[in-house]
Amino acid sequence: MNAWRRAWLAASGVAIIASAMTVGAAPRVPVDGAEVLERLPFTVGDRRLRELAPLRLALQRDPRDLRVAVTLARAYVESGRTTGDPRYAGYAEAVLAPWWVMPDPPTEVAILRAVLLQRVHRFDAALADLDRLLADNPRNGQAQLTRATILQVQGRHDDARRACGALRGVVPEMHVRVCEAGVDGATGRLQPALDSLAAAFARTPDADAGTRAWVYGTMAELAERAGRLGPAETYYRNALVADPDDQYLLAAYADFLLDRGRAREVLSLLAGRGRADGLLLRLALASDATRSVDAAVLAEQLRARFAAAARRGDRVHLREEARQALQLAHDPRTALALALDNWQVQKEPADLVLLAQAAVAANDADARSIVDAWIVRTGLEDVRIPMASSAAKSKSSMHPRSASLRSTR
């Protein structure tokens, strides 16, 4: 699942935070006392470790100190966002252990639990937490935005639109506009969504860095899907200026570059960032495209990670696995099976693009019909989709919320 769509409102104001984290693997007992099991993501001199040390010590003294636990858990979530290290999600969950299994935990814990549950695609469980919170306080902006995000990922656009509307008067108007643009952009109003969001953003010159990254990233995706490649690249670059370490933005811009045949730029963009599976995939694709000497090593690292995830029952990275099978292993049937499994869980435009690509490569008419049906149902516009049938395209153009694209790829 991708970044701002897993957004949540930080407690220290209304800053948008995104991450791409999953719970790490189960512990393994070494057979040799000298074996190196893992190299920690920070060293003794690391600034992050130094800053978190007082919180960790305070929690050791009193593991049920809610204020300290929530502060430390949020710090771990942010560290996962900036490093791409999936283990931080596990660290955050461990910190919240005294409250984790409560059916009705404190509000701060319930929101963090929902955020962490969606990391591992337990969307219904996350929504259950959020629904309980909102039943007591419908004006909880964090819960409402997180709920809208999950509903969009699930393709429940009408419910997501209502959740976005419920944000009005609760969070800054700019955040409402971004939320609504995500829904409009997936339901036949792509160009109006982009135009409206750009106009609203122009009237918000004092937006903080987190909001700028979120808005620019959203506009970049909308513009790319509309075939407006020049503005899309500018938006991606501006987003990364605002937040250079956002894992989702880095992956999205890397994909933009790969689609333009600019793989060498991807190698520079993502150098040293292969800890995150999503970024390792893009590095492997770029290395393969440039025939780099590291290509085989990176491809094997990626394959090994997915194999390890499968052994422990982790199915979070189905989209990435499908792309690996399609674009690196050149196995369209496996790629299609993974893309179909992924489509059962999440239904964002990128998921449909992947399903369409795999369907074309595997020459599978049934899978192609799934893509066509979704386009007809939603009015989705995306120039990256390689094969909507003529009937689907015709019906999509007549969709009541559809706006014709004014530019081409």
- 247 domain-assigned: no
Average pLDDT over residues 231-249: 96
How would you classify residue 265: left for phi > 0, otherwise alpha for psi between -120 and 50, otherwise beta? alpha
Does position 30 have pLDDT exceeding 50, yes or no?
Answer: no
Q: How confident is the model at residue 405 (pLDDT cuts 50, 70, 90)?
A: very low
- 34 domain-assigned: no
- Residue 343 structural domain: 322-409
Does position 7 have pLDDT exceeding 50, yes or no?
Answer: no
Q: How confident is the model at residue 67 (pLDDT cuts 50, 70, 90)?
A: very high
Q: Are 333 and 304 in the same domain? A: no
Which residues lie below 8 Å from residue 39, measured CB to CB, with a gap of 6+? Answer: none
Q: Are 146 and 4 in the same domain? A: yes
Tell me the two tokens of residue 253. Answer: 């811009």
Helix %, strand %, coil % of the chain (to 5): 65, 0, 35
Tell me the DSSP string of 251-283.
Answer: HHHHHHHHHTT-HHHHHHHTTT-TTSHHHHHHH
Does position 317 have pLDDT exceeding 60, yes or no?
Answer: yes
Average pLDDT over residues 55-80: 92
pTM: 0.84
Q: Are 312 and 342 in the same domain? A: no
Exposed, middle or buried by CB within 10 Å (0-12, 13-18, 19+), for 268? Answer: exposed
Last residue within a domain, chosen from 134, 151, 168: 151
State the pLDDT at residue 176. 95
What are the pLDDT digits (tens) for 180-206? 999 999 999 999 999 999 999 999 989
- 56 domain-assigned: yes
Q: What are phi and psi of 8, to 5 degrees?
A: -145, 155
Average pLDDT over residues 138-166: 95
State the pLDDT at residue 49. 61
Beta bridge partners of 9: 16
Q: How confident is the model at residue 37 (pLDDT cuts 50, 70, 90)?
A: very low
Share of the chain above pLDDT 70, in %: 82
Does position 75 have pLDDT exceeding 60, yes or no?
Answer: yes
Q: Are 286 and 408 in the same domain? A: no
Average pLDDT over residues 314-335: 94
The larger pLDDT score, comparing residue 38 to residue 320, is at 320
Tell me the DSSP string of 160-195.
Answer: HHHHHHTTBTTB-HHHHHHHHHHHHTTTT-HHHHHH
Amino acid (one-letter) located at 328: L
What is the C-alpha radius of gyration for the chain, rounded to an integer number of angstroms? 21
The larger pLDDT score, comparing residue 61 to residue 43, is at 61
Q: Are 142 and 282 in the same domain? A: no
Q: Give the CA-trace dihedral at 280, 286, 292, 294, to 10 degrees.
A: 10
The larger pLDDT score, comparing residue 158 to residue 21, is at 158
Last residue within a domain, chosen from 90, 123, 151: 151
How many CB atoms lie under 10 A from the CB of residue 303? 16
Average pLDDT over residues 316-324: 94
Last residue within a domain, chosen from 316, 335, 353: 316
> Which among 198, 284, 273, 185 is positioned nearest to 235, based on CA atoms?
198
Share of the chain above pLDDT 90, in %: 72
User: Tokens 């694209």 sit at which residue?
Assistant: 405
- 29 domain-assigned: no
Contact 267, 283 (CB under 8 A): yes
Does position 371 have pLDDT exceeding 80, yes or no?
Answer: yes
How many CB atoms lie under 10 A from the CB of residue 230? 9
Q: Report the alpha-carbon distance of residue 65 to residue 398 in Å, rounded.
A: 57
State the pLDDT at residue 81. 75
State the pLDDT at residue 47. 64
How would you classify residue 155: left for phi > 0, otherwise alpha for psi between -120 and 50, otherwise beta? left
Q: Are 56 and 3 in the same domain? A: yes
State the pLDDT at residue 393. 55
The larger pLDDT score, comparing residue 10 to residue 322, is at 322
Instruction: Specify the number of domains making up the chain.
Output: 3
Q: Report the alpha-carbon distance of residue 108 to residue 75 in Å, rounded.
A: 14
What are the pLDDT digits (tens) for 44-65? 445 666 778 899 999 999 999 9
